[in-house]
Chain A
Amino acid sequence: MKKLPKTINLTLKVWRQQQSEKKGHFENIATQNIAVHMSFIEMLDSVNEQLTLEGKDPIAFDNDCREGICGTCGAVVDGRAHGPQKATTLCQLHMRQFSDGDTIVVEPFRARAFKVVKDLVVDRSSLDKIMAAGGYISANTGGAPDGNAIPIAQEIAEKAMDAAACIGCGACVAACPSASAMLFVSGKVSQLALLPQGRPEAARRALNMVKTMDTCGFGNCSNHRECENACPKELSIINIARLNREYLKASFFSDAT
């Protein structure tokens, strides 16, 4: 006979906030029979079913792909962005990480630059603003260039791919004691700065993305290294060092403004 999946009972201490302008508070919600094979997001689904049946307001949270690739989900669970498991998004975090009887504190990503929209949903459009300030290359239309026309060394391609693994979830900001977005920005700057296609606009990109980051109200990097430890894609702060180099190079040695 097939063994039924184990279930646990939990108390969620979850942040409830009607809208940005209203004051929020923590609410304790008792949950029963949570299958340990559920993801954290599926657990929230089942809690929301229960809340809806009781005629209460379900917990608002962001999610989309549920397979750890889109960067939409995210909350601070028990004091850690995306929860206690390393290199894992909230949607890939499974309830077997928790024990029967646990009280789990669930809060939104906290940063001045991320306003709470409702409950666990935060407005991360400041990251989009930073992207719009230079996180792209301007390619002219025309015939598609030959695939291998520009040779790129394997090690360089690897580093660019590592930086490009960023899914823009904002966990780095949430985990940073100073709510700095440097790991995010450094990933976006690095993935392009490392490749020849990104070089023509590299100086302008570094200057404008940093400038936009600063005006959005993020903090300054103090090299605590919480970001790289919280990042579900394990981006390294070596990217931040590269961003610093790119920025200083652009500031002191380029014509870009």
Chain B
Amino acid sequence: MSWLIQIFSSSVGKKLLMAVTGLCFIGFLAAHLAGNLSLYAGGAAFNAYAEKLHSLGPILVVFELGLLALALIHVITGITLFVQNYKARSVPYEKDKAAGGRTLSSLTMPYTGFIILGFIVFHLINFSFVDKSDRTIFEIVRAAFVNPIYMIIYLVVMIIVALHVRHGFWSAFQTLGVNHPKYMPALMVLSVIVGLIIGLGFGLLPIYLWTIG
């Protein structure tokens, strides 16, 4: 056991936790997006998708608990890294210029992360922990996005998620030691593409729902 504690309390081990849980989230987002695309096929298709998902019963509960565990690990480790990294530069620079590595995306990881965390709570209250006895999920979703404020909140957060993933995706591979000149340049480009797919994929949905309002 002590060897496990040693790994996960080390800097490299904590990053391993971030990378594995982060990549799992990206996998989850891909599945979530695929499901949500059924919205474009209309209310019946979306309700059928939701129905099918809930018919999984205990399997779905296991999945949800798994996601919760991943989230706890990612968030707690993320906060630890943020605090440690903040403390490691005890005195900030008077003048601090980029040498050519850092990006908006990489610099804002902890902040975009926190916003995503807040959003997840908001999102679950909106569409998960709601009374679904007299309305279908499509009706609930559609009613929500009639409100332009909802549409804008979702849109902005999706841009923020895209930023988090744009650095997170390639960074996770680097953390796992998966870096070779053969494919790293491609992974870097893929990271932008994955960020765009997630940002556009999720971001266009609230706009669509708002327009059909």
Contacts and interface: CB of A to CB of B under 8 A. Distances in A.
The 7 closest A-B pairs by CB, nearest first: A225-B101, A219-B88, A79-B97, A245-B177, A241-B179, A178-B85, A229-B99
B50 to A, nearest CB: 37
Contact of A178 (B12, B89, B99, B174): B89
A220 B86 CA distance: 10
Contacts of A180: 11, 85, 88
A237 B106 CA distance: 15
A81 B99 contact: yes
Given A220-B85, A229-B100, A251 B6 contact: yes
Given A79-B95, A111-B90, A213 B11 contact: yes
A171 to B, nearest CB: 9
Nearest to A223: B171
Given A112-B90, A222-B106, A225-B102, A241 B97 contact: no
A178 B85 CA distance: 5
B143 to A, nearest CB: 40
Interface residues of A, number: 52
A222 B171 contact: yes
Interface of A: 13, 15, 26, 76, 78-81, 105, 107, 110-113, 175, 177-180, 182, 207, 210-211, 213-214, 217-230, 237-238, 240-245, 247-248, 251-252, 257
A218 B81 CA distance: 11
Given A211-B10, A223-B174, A242-B177, A218 B95 contact: no
A230 to B, nearest CB: 4
Nearest to A182: B11
B99 A226 contact: yes
B63 interface: no
Q: Which of A210, A218, A240, A244: most chain B Cβ within 10 A? A: A244
